Structure 1
Amino acid sequence: MKNLIKLSFFILFFGITARSQDKSEFTSINEANKNPEKVLRLNLDHEKASLAGIDWKKFRNLEYLSLKDLHLKKIPEGITALPQLKVLDISGNDFKVLPSGFTKLTKLEELFLNDEKNIDLSQNIDLLSKMKHLKVLHIENDKLKELPANFWKLNYLESIYLNDNQLKKFDFPKERMNNLKNIHLNNNLFMPSDIDRLSSRYGTLLRF
């Protein structure tokens, strides 16, 4: 009987928690604007038309933002006014460089830059190198044939995702990447002999 009561309590607790989390996540800017200070997660994929005129400063507690697959030629400068933002997904757009004020996102921990065929990676690396709090970077399916020379300035990263690119060669200054836990390199153009060599040199740090 006691076990049944405990089980019922946990089901009730997690059910309430789940509903609470659901209420903090929005997929419509019109709904989110009703109580912007309560919005923790905002997914505006496919809502390009609704981005104009958003007062991003109102979303002062926003932790997750997705502007994926909108084919934006310019990322809104206003998103740099989100003081609590931890995760940003701006994959599938057409911009070349991040907003100049991007370093204002002082709590950003994870950034998705997947499916970006026009991105100037080298220029953006110079900007991202100033964001020492960033831990996880996704640069997947960007048709990268090589990494820019300045890429390893991001020596504070813990995880790097480079899956689904066109990399044939890979080398990095392991001694400078003290925080790095893994680099994901699935579905590139490495020969089996290259994978064996890299695995022998870097061990489980590389994921193929």
Structure 2
Amino acid sequence: MKIFYTITLFLMTQISIGQIVDSIQIKKVFTNIEQALKEPEKVFRLNLSNQTLKLDSLNWSKFINLEYLSLKNDHLTVIPKEITLLKKLKVLELSGNDFSVLPEDFWKLKSLEELFLNDETNLNLEANIEIMSKMKSLRILHLENDNLNNMPSSISSLKNLEFLYLNNNQFKEIPKEIKQLKHLQLLEIKDNKIMVPERSTENLNFGFRVNL
């Protein structure tokens, strides 16, 4: 019996150590593309922000486990369509670039849950909403500091959106089009030109929480 318990304890210890190693690996953030390409299957988080990169020839399909990708402030005029090969990507940071429209095949990122489109000067919001409307997994959208003063009625096509961030824009009132988002839980719209009501924002009768 002692041998049995010893073996069981050993196996449990090995499993626990393996889980810790896996957890550390998932949390590790790669910031160098050459380093990441040495063992792409071990890359879960890739932060390439604030870099000058040529991404056209990069084989994104090698990153079979990538869940987080940041291309923030990389001055990209075009988002490489090859990123749609990232089947497990959950979070994508594209803020601070120079593109206007996402790739047509962007909807192929079927695991994508959160998208950052902050600090965009050339963003064609209506065209991008049309593309994003095909993404059933998209739950969180950031459109902060984009100089927006109105919201296209097509926003209602983002049927599964739960969290929307519109901070630091030019809205004078809460866009009525947002009321059509049936699953929205939170609208954050701070630092706009909206008159803050005296009554609690919880009583605005939108059906979701509003942070002004």
TM range (shorter): 0.7 to 0.9
Bigger CA radius of gyration: 2
User: Per the alignment, in what secondary structure is the counterpart of residue 51 of structure 1?
Assistant: coil
- 5+ residue gaps, structure 1, are 1-8
In the alignment, structure 1 residue 88 sits paired with structure 2 residue 92: yes
Identity among equivalent positions (%) equals 44
Change (3 A) 1:155 1:202: same
CA deviations on 1:89-125 (whole Å, 9 max, x unpaired) are 0000010100111011011000000001101000110
> 2:208 & 2:117 partners in 1: Cα distance?
24
Structure 1 residue aligned with 2:58: 54
| 1:19 CA drift (Å) | 3.8
TM-score normalized by structure 2? 0.83
1:1-208 mapped onto 2 (5 Å cutoff)? 19-23=24-28, 25-170=29-174, 171-172=176-177, 174=179, 176-193=180-197, 199-202=203-206, 205-208=209-212
- Checking the alignment, whether the CA contact within 8 Å between 1:64 and 1:86 is kept in structure 2 is yes
CA deviations on 1:65-111 (whole Å, 9 max, x unpaired) are 00000111100111011111110000000101001110110110000
User: Per the alignment, in what secondary structure is the counterpart of residue 107 of structure 1?
Assistant: coil
Q: Which amino acid aligns with 1:20?
A: Q
User: Per the alignment, in what secondary structure is the counterpart of residue 49 of structure 1?
Assistant: coil
Q: CA RMSD in A?
A: 2.4
CA deviations on 1:157-192 (whole Å, 9 max, x unpaired) are 010011111101222363x43311111011110013
Q: Which amino acid aligns with 1:86?
A: K
